[in-house]
Amino acid sequence: MDSIFYTFIVLMFVAVVLAFEAIYVWWNSRHGPAARRIDSRIRALSAGGHVSKERLSILKSDVLKDGSFFEKLMLQIPRAKSLDLLLQQSGTRTSVARLGLTCLILAFCALVVTALLPVPVVVDPIAALFVGALPYFNILRLRNKRLHKLEKQLPDVADTLSRALRAGHSFASAIGMVAAEFAEPMGGEFRITFDEINYGVPMNEALLNLANRVPIRDLRYFVIAVLIQRETGGNLAEVLDGIGFLIRERFKLFDKVRVLAAEGKLSAWVLCLLPFVTGGAVMIFNPKFLPVLWEDPLGQKMLAGMAVIMVAGVMWMRSIIKIRV
């Protein structure tokens, strides 16, 4: 009896250990560091690279093989590739399917909440569309923030490449130095380019992939200058020094313009938000005051005219405060 009991305890312990080991192996194969690196490389190639149709079809089939029905459905959307590129540029690990599902859930919740509030029926779909688009706007914000960081790091990258070339390194090894020494996000982008070169991708194609993944004007100028120098020859180190100097001078001008336009932008935000804030305050303190606007036919016409005038005013203020350099 005792031997059977102890044998059962030992076998139970071994079964629990093997179960935990199987769970760890499954999680590591799907969410571990190696899996994340492979997923990042596949997304970078399928979303932002100059990939041939044969390689792209293999990548897409590999992505869709283990995906859910909703993921397969989302990836059939015509603009799914551009949305995948947008997610890649934002630096997030969110997939197209997860973003679409989040937007749908938020839109449904907003529709339920507005249906319970004493607001006109036309507000329900507008609120659902606005709340459902919030994750997309957040992705755009993260993308702009990441691209701004990349733009700020670019002059130092040009200086590092120039010093490496003057020290006798090849351009490929100089790219490897940038990938190893620079922080994210620039280090990660150049690391992808360096890996592509090591895996046999031509230098020109790897640089074009970099310019496609990172849609920064200065980086495209950098790539064009390198490609022209590789075709015609010349001192690439001096070209890179000139690019770094021009980018820093443009940053100084951008900062000066941003300071001069800050007051106009703040005034535009105040003017745009003031009607909504005032209307919300009136609805809280006197709920019976504003319903006449959407219950009376004349009030509905006034709201439509107000919306047209506000849109025209927003577009006009945007054209005034947006200064291109």
Asked if residue 245 has pLDDT above 70, the reply is: yes
Residues 205 and 304 in one domain: no
Average pLDDT value for residue range 103-119: 84
Question: Is the CB of residue 102 less than 8 Å from the CB of residue 135?
Answer: yes
Asked if 150 and 144 count as a contact pair (C-beta separation under 8 A), the reply is no
Residues 239 and 259 in one domain: no
Q: Are residues 243 and 164 in the same domain?
A: yes
- Regarding whether 267 and 174 lie in a shared domain, the answer is no
Residues 166 and 241 in one domain: yes
**Is residue 173 situated within a structural domain?**
yes
3-state helix, strand, coil in the chain (%, to 5): 85, 0, 15
The last residue of one of the domains, among 144, 170, 200, is 144
Give residue 206's domain range.
147-249
Sequence-distant (6+) residues with CB within 8 A of 190 are 157, 175, 178, 179, 182, 210
First to last CA, the chain: 87
Considering the domain architecture, whether residues 137 and 67 belong to the same structural domain is answered as yes
Q: Are 307 and 282 members of one domain? A: yes
Residue range 212-227, pLDDT digits in tens: 888 888 888 889 988 8
How far CA 293 is from CA of 67, 92, 288, 323, in Å, comes to 49, 43, 11, 37
pLDDT tens per residue, range 273-317: 888 888 888 888 887 887 777 778 888 888 888 888 888 888 888
170 lies in the same domain as 240 = yes
pLDDT score, position 138: 92
**In a shared domain, residues 243 and 267:** no
CA 249, chain centre distance (Å): 27
> Residues 257, 307: contact at Cβ < 8 Å?
no
Backbone Cα Rg of the chain:
27
pLDDT at 322 over 50: yes
Residue 37 in any domain: the answer is no
Checking if the pLDDT of 44 tops 60, the result is no
Would the pLDDT of 15 be above 70?
yes
Q: How many domains does the chain have?
A: 3
Same domain, 103 and 168: no
Give the up-direction half-sphere exposure of residue 293: CA atoms within 13 A in the CB hemisphere. Answer: 17
**Domain CATH for 174:** 1.20.81
Task: Determine the Cα–Cα distance for residues 48 and 213; give it in Å rounded to an integer.
Answer: 5
Q: Does the residue 40 lie in any domain?
A: no
pLDDT at 62: 45
87 found inside a domain: yes
Is 226 a member of any domain?
yes
Same domain, 212 and 260: no
**Which distant-in-sequence residues (6+ apart) come within 8 Å of 225 by Cβ?**
239, 240, 243
- Give domain status of residue 47, yes or no: no
Specify if 42 maps to a domain: no
pLDDT level of residue 142 (50, 70, 90 thresholds): very high
Amino acid at 181: E
- Structural domain ending residue among the three candidates 233, 249, 265: 249
Q: Is 194 helix (H, G, I), strand (E, B) or coil?
A: helix
**Six-digit token string for 187:** 């280090």
Q: Is residue 264 part of a domain?
A: yes
The three-class DSSP label of residue 175 is: helix
Residues 6 or more apart from 294 whose CB is under 8 A from it?
120, 122, 300, 303
Q: Which residues contact 297 (CB under 8 A, 6 or more apart)?
A: none
Q: Which of 222, 249, 276 is the last residue of a domain?
A: 249
Q: Do 87 and 203 belong together in one domain?
A: no
